[in-house]
Amino acid sequence: MEGMRRTKIVIIALVIVSFGTLALKSPSGDNYFAIIKNLDIFATLYKEVNAYYVDDVNPNKLIKTGIDAMLGSLDPYTNYIPEDQIENYRTMTTGEYGGIGAVVQRVDGVNTVLMAYEGYPAHEAGLKIGDQILAISGISLDDKSSEEISTLLKGQSKSGIELTVKRYNTPDTFIVTVSREKITIKNVPYYGMVDNEIGYIKLTDFTTKAGQEVKKAVKDLKADGAKKIILDLRGNPGGLLQEAVNISNVFIPKGKEVVTTRGKYQSKDEIYRTLDEPVDTEIPVAVLTSSMSASASEIVAGTIQDYDRGILVGRKTYGKGLVQITRPLSYNSQLKVTTAKYYIPSGRCIQAIDYSHRNADGSVGKIPDSLKVAFRTIGGREVFDGGGVDPDIKVAPKEYAPIAISLAENNLLFHYATKYYYEHKDFGDPRDFSLSDTDYQNFIDWLQDKDYEYTTEVEKKLKNLIESSEDEDYFSQIEQPLKELLERNSANKENDLKEYKDQISWLLEQEIASRYELQSGMIEVGFKSDKDVIEAITALNDEAKYKQLLNQQ
């Protein structure tokens, strides 16, 4: 006990010295006594819990829980990164790791290849979507978690591993030897022509070189004849702030302000401007956004809007206007801490007023007008702060029927796409692919002995009504009619496959296209039914409407 007491005194002394040093740099020295006092309480509390709690205490788990709860009271983006998670964090920020270039997850309890990235070791070795990986270098994966499997797949570049693989309609397993390589996840997994004049760029991340990838994509598309550009930021969670500046610079002249960061200390505020000559400042641009387009995505979308450089199509963005940096901690751990808010060229901050409460789809919902502040784009259009960037053309989110969700969640679309691939060798251009009536009927027939139970919204409401009415005196009078309605609704499920054929076909077509053309197939097959893309094409092809949206008439 005496040793622990001396250790605690040493720790507190070091803390006092550390905060004393910080006090020379910071005006908020009044808080330091409270900080030291509470650190002392925390250390004492931990000592007592460790000594007297009824069960053994895992110190790493207990302290991390405390740290996470403490940081969680600040904002959702200030996080503690322990040493064993540093490699995953580096992958998120750099897009690089040592591995085989494939996404492997459990499907119906078996580790299955969901995607093999073109040009990387898994694809080059012949692995296909739907292949089941039963063992890695002789180690069975039956009882392994996703994290453990990811660790086994990753490793030093040039190191080899053997995968025991089971393939659809192949009775015996076989070995695939793969040599790990340095995998760089592409920020732009796809770009291509939607039609003869419109180029499309899918941007999924803002890791290192994102700006270079977008720049190359625009140049290549223009060389292919593109006279208009669609930049798809839907679902992009953001990343490196400088890459947002670099991507904006593709369309915005050199020397223009893109974003300003302002934090606790005014001396550390920074203005980020474009540094290079742009690729094209005139080509019409449509940026696709969604409720999950966040952070750096919102800087790009907001900058394009504030300079009236292009139109935004889709849904209000996420509303994350906070800047994080990482700070080193002891024992190779790190702190990702919010240090500033960012402001786009019009002067608005897109940070959601209340980021602790969101809708199920991640959106911030409706912000009261009284809480919004109006700003102006360079051309005089009125724009607002308070929670994300509003699109110029609003498109309702695609909502799927319960049956479509059930078919996806039960992996039935996934399995049928694999079956289709091995039974149909000819595919052609994904843009022209669609399931025929015969193909869809074959899918319905295949489902006959499959389990895909689901509950419709009507069923949920009827069940809730029955449960809430059971204690009422008049329940006996309404019980039978309600149950008959419930049974009738269940019977109607048999018609749902036909009623929601368009939805289910679109999802199934994307799965099937991925078997032949991987990521690019999934994207291209969706062009003909993607409401956001269709709206963007319509606006870009209507010069008068495009100029009107930008207040240029």
Q: Just list the catalytic residues.
A: 295, 306, 320
Provide the 8-state DSSP code for 450: -
CA 233 – CA 391 distance, rounded (Å): 12
CA 334 – CA 79 distance, rounded (Å): 9
What own/partner pairs with CB < 8 Å and gap ≥ 24 does 490-493 have?
490/459, 493/403, 493/454, 493/456
Q: What is the Rg, in whole angstroms, of the alpha carbon atoms belonging to the chain?
A: 28
CA 337 – CA 326 distance, rounded (Å): 6
Q: What are phi and psi of 529, to 5 degrees?
A: -120, 0
Answer yes or no: are the C-beta atoms of 78 and 337 closer than 8 Å.
yes
**Whole-Å CA distances, 44 to 16, 31, 67, 395, 428:** 16, 20, 16, 56, 69
3-class DSSP assignment, residue 335: strand
Question: What is 353-371 written as a DSSP string?
Answer: S-TT---TTS---PPPGGG
Q: How many CA atoms lie within 13 A of 477 on its CB side?
A: 3
Residue type, 440: Y
Minimal CA–CA distance to 287: which of 274, 298, 275?
298
Length of the chain measured in residues: 553
Answer yes or no: are the C-beta atoms of 340 and 263 closer than 8 Å.
yes
The dihedral over CA atoms of 457, 462, 463, 465, expressed in degrees to the nearest 10, equals: 130
Residue type, 376: R
CA 469 – CA 472 distance, rounded (Å): 5
CA 419 – CA 445 distance, rounded (Å): 13
Minimal CA–CA distance to 100: which of 58, 163, 142?
163
CA 197 – CA 229 distance, rounded (Å): 9
Answer yes or no: are the C-beta atoms of 317 and 294 closer than 8 Å.
yes
Cβ neighbors of 384 (< 8 A, separation 6 or more) are: 348, 367, 372, 373, 374, 375, 390
In the numeric block, the tokens 């039935």 are attached to 412
CA 117 – CA 51 distance, rounded (Å): 51
